């Protein structure tokens, strides 16, 4: 069907078929990726030290965004541990710090704290806060940006996938991403994840 549709480039119906086939392919790929991640999470019980990951990422991001002269300040509890895989933690924090650097005026602050165990959750809770001093986002903008491909500021490069990946990964670990306003004036992105 896709081949037939592709052979009729000027037929609007054929174009619709191609468009729908693209969306289906995308959805299948997403479901497979989700299944792959979910399966892995139940098998591997790894624990990752958070402070070294955050410190290394901050230094890397400072270099990547060197031309903008953004300073990244890190306060990380050295005892903080993530109940999950290191690459997933790097992916989540990396996306948030990359955004903070892209939209900051001059400052980014990262805080890693362990919460008192919440009786409604099993085990420790880990909180990773990424603040910047940029223009931030209004409550309605915050609602929009966590969706795949949604970008509000086209003046900076990006595909608009970063935050949706963070939301999805955090969700797979039973955690969440919250967006708010930072004391520095810009966006506050707060990751709540299972600790160890
Ligand atoms: N720290 C921030 N300050 C202001 N706006 C932000 C911030 N972080 C994200 N946004 C807004 O949310 C949108 C979505 O962010 P997201 O990380 O998903 O995409 P991106 O950074 O544009 O692209 P990508 O992450 O795929 O390179 C951004 O385009 C921007 O409009
Ligand atoms: Mg991004």
Q: Which domain CATH number covers 139?
A: 3.30.565.10
Give residue 132 CA to ligand 1 midpoint distance, Å. 12
Are 158 and 64 in a shared domain?
yes
Are 26 and 112 in a shared domain?
no
Closest ligand (CA of 143): 1
Q: How crowded is the C-beta side of 36, counted as CA atoms within 13 Å?
A: 6
Q: What is the value of pTM for the model shown?
A: 0.80
Please name the residue whose Cα sits nearest to atom 10 of ligand 1: 99
Taking a C-beta distance cutoff of 8 angstroms, is the pair 151, 165 a contact?
A: no
Are 131 and 57 in a shared domain?
yes
Are 30 and 117 in a shared domain?
no
Are 38 and 49 in a shared domain?
no
- Band (146; pLDDT cuts 50, 70, 90): confident
Q: Is the pLDDT of residue 43 over 60?
A: no
Q: Is the pLDDT of residue 179 over 80?
A: yes
Give me the residues near ligand 2 (ion), CB cutoff below 5 Å. Answer: 99, 162
- Band (120; pLDDT cuts 50, 70, 90): low
d(CA 151, CA 143): 12
Q: Is the pLDDT of residue 15 over 90?
A: no
pLDDT in the model for residue 118: 63
Of ligand 1's listed atoms, the one at least distance from the Cα of 100 is 1
Instruction: Identify the domain containing residue 29 by its residue range.
Output: 2-42
Q: Is the pLDDT of residue 40 over 70?
A: no
Give residue 156 CA to ligand 1 midpoint distance, Å. 9
Identify the burial level of 147 via C-beta atoms within 10 angstroms of its C-beta, where 0-12 means exposed, 13-18 middle and 19 or more buried: exposed
Are 38 and 60 in a shared domain?
no
- Ligand 1, pocket residues at CB < 6 Å: 95, 99-100, 103, 132, 134-137, 145, 150-153, 158-164, 186-187
Task: Please state the rounded mean pLDDT for residues 175-180.
Answer: 96
Considering its fold, how many domains does the chain have in total? 2
Q: Strand 176-181 relative to strand 187-194: parallel, antiparallel, unpaired?
A: antiparallel
What is the rounded average pLDDT for all residues in the chain? 89
Which of 5-19, 112-126, 139-153 is least confident?
Answer: 112-126
More confident call, 159 vs 176: 176
Are 121 and 177 in a shared domain?
yes
3-state SS assignment for residue 147: coil
Q: Nearest Cα to 130, choosing from 191, 185, 66? A: 191
Are 38 and 59 in a shared domain?
no
d(CA 108, CA 99): 10
d(CA 87, CA 89): 5
Task: Please state the rounded mean pLDDT for residues 140-145.
Answer: 92
Are 89 and 25 in a shared domain?
no
Q: Is the pLDDT of residue 44 over 70?
A: no
Give residue 179 CA to ligand 2 midpoint distance, Å. 14
Are 78 and 92 in a shared domain?
yes
Taking a C-beta distance cutoff of 8 angstroms, is the pair 121, 173 a contact?
A: no
Task: Please state the rounded mean pLDDT for residues 137-164.
Answer: 88
d(CA 163, CA 166): 5
Task: Please state the rounded mean pLDDT for residues 32-53.
Answer: 78
pLDDT digits (tens, 9 = 90+) for 50-63: 999 999 999 999 99
Are 79 and 35 in a shared domain?
no
Q: Is the pLDDT of residue 177 over 90?
A: yes
Q: Which residues of 115-141 are buried (b: 16+ CB within 10 A; e: fewer)?
A: eeeeeeeeebbbbbbbbbbbebbeeee
């Amino acid at each position: 069907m896709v081949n037939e549709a592709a052979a009729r480039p000027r037929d609007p119906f054929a174009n619709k078929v191609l468009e729908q086939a693209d969306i289906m392919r995308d959805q299948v790929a997403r479901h497979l990726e989700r299944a792959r991640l979910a399966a892995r999470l139940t098998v591997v019980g790894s624990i990752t030290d958070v402070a070294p990951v955050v410190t290394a990422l901050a230094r890397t991001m400072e270099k990547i965004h060197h031309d903008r002269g953004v300073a990244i300040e890190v306060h990380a509890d050295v005892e903080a541990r993530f109940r999950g895989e290191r690459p997933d933690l790097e992916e989540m924090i990396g996306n948030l710090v990359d955004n903070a650097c892209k939209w900051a005026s001059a400052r980014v602050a990262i805080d890693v704290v362990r919460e008192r165990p919440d009786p409604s959750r099993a085990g420790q809770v880990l909180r990773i806060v990424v603040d910047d001093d940029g223009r931030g986002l209004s409550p309605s903008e915050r609602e929009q940006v966590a969706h795949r491909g949604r970008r509000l500021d086209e003046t900076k490069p990006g595909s608009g996938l970063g935050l949706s990946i963070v939301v999805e990964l955090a969700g797979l670990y039973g955690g969440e991403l919250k967006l708010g306003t930072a004391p520095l004036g810009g966006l506050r992105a707060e990751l709540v994840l299972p600790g160890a």
